[in-house]
Chain A
């Protein structure tokens, strides 16, 4: 009884504030991560030598850098160059850069799996290369990349907890503070875990719906 009372009266209201920050982190990061991923993939496959190399370098760099280290560099390192971010801004930037790098790899693979005939037919109709990319290739590639891209979004929900390390108090951070104050570690972290599980559940459902929506007979 005591535990339930604690959860309802103290824990959930406090975690609620953290949850809102977590949701903001995720909802800001997803569209920009996706956009970065698409642009980098297009640059890699269809760009000139310079763009292609730049995209490749980007992916190598951000896939190779631990996310936590990346966040530290952005938040603690960049101010010495005169670039400062809020804890929230630094977190979103780090997530977008990391998410974009992985997403671009899924989309690149999907673009390259679209049969060359699709591009040839589009060009034979008088489309420019970029019209063919946007109206013919990308819609097909996006459909194929969706399961992988969805996985990255699920990861993002969970690694958003790293924002806590930049003093951006999101769900995990809020839990840590309450637990430290009340010494109720078990209840607190169990509830935090359940909230993450629920978020992942909802995201999975949305992704399943999107996969269905974008599917076409093959």
Chain B
């Protein structure tokens, strides 16, 4: 595999992970190019979340390698914190820091990790909050925000670090249905603005309209991948078809216009 290709930002090479006797990931590989949005779909238990957490070594894979901009991501102490700054992560349950305001949530890593000066960090934080439409709520604490607002702040917090790639782990799954729209809209804008993203989601509408490539994962493997038009309307694998028909029962039929 050519890891030094000019445009490939993230290379995931043959990742394996086993918990006890359960093999969660069985050799997953894919490449993300600059500005691309890759969407991973698949049933729960397929290993999607584990895969994302392996990329920034929140979970350490048993085997396989990860490259960011051609440099191998190692989990040794001296390396990993430098890499994690460049890999933004958004979690299903937001994980905002409860004891500080939205603004301070975005600021804190700029101050403590990037060692920015306070006025500079504040300016950057406000800019990122504005980008997700949360500037006017900057002074509120996480407990005072709705789920959708909290998730947008957590996106701003990750973006503030100027990451090379953003990982989204089911960013709308913990939200009330009427709040998913505002988060998806922010993500859509990021994708169109050229942010490189890997998104695990069940939002097929988002996947079909935004993704450059959709990967269907099941039982720790990527079974099938391709452009959304192919995966959603002409899936090759029987199991992809089955999964998509189950999802459309739950979320409604997907139409070709997105």
Contacts and interface: CB of A to CB of B under 8 A. Distances in A.
B81 interface: yes
A216 B98 CA distance: 8
Given A131-B113, A218-B143, A123 B58 contact: yes
A135 interface: yes
Contact of B89 (A124, A136, A216, A217): A124
B223 interface: no
Given A125-B84, A128-B81, A118 B98 contact: yes
A126 B95 contact: no
A131 B93 CA distance: 22
Interface in B142-171: 143-144, 154, 157-158, 161
A125 B161 contact: yes
Nearest to B92: A117
B98 A140 contact: yes
Contacts, number: 72
A124 B56 contact: yes
Interface string A105-123: 0000000000101101111
A56 interface: no
Contact of B95 (A120, A128, A131, A216): A120
A120 B98 contact: no
Contacts of B58: 120, 123-124
Contact of A127 (B87, B100, B112): B112
Contacts of B83: 126
B190 interface: no
Q: In the complex, which of the residues A124, A131, A139 has the most CB atoms of chain B within 10 Å of its own CB atom?
A: A124
A125 B98 contact: no
A137 to B, nearest CB: 10
A122 B141 contact: no
Contacts of A131: 112-113
Contact of A125 (B77, B100, B109): B109
Nearest to A119: B95
B84 A217 contact: no
B37 interface: no
Interface string B82-119: 11110101010101111110000000110011000000
Interface of A: 115, 117-118, 120-128, 131, 135-136, 139-140, 143, 216-218
23 contacts: A117-B91, A117-B93, A117-B95, A118-B95, A120-B58, A120-B95, A121-B95, A121-B96, A121-B97, A125-B109, A125-B113, A125-B158, A125-B161, A128-B77, A128-B81, A131-B112, A136-B97, A136-B99, A136-B108, A139-B99, A140-B98, A216-B98, A218-B143
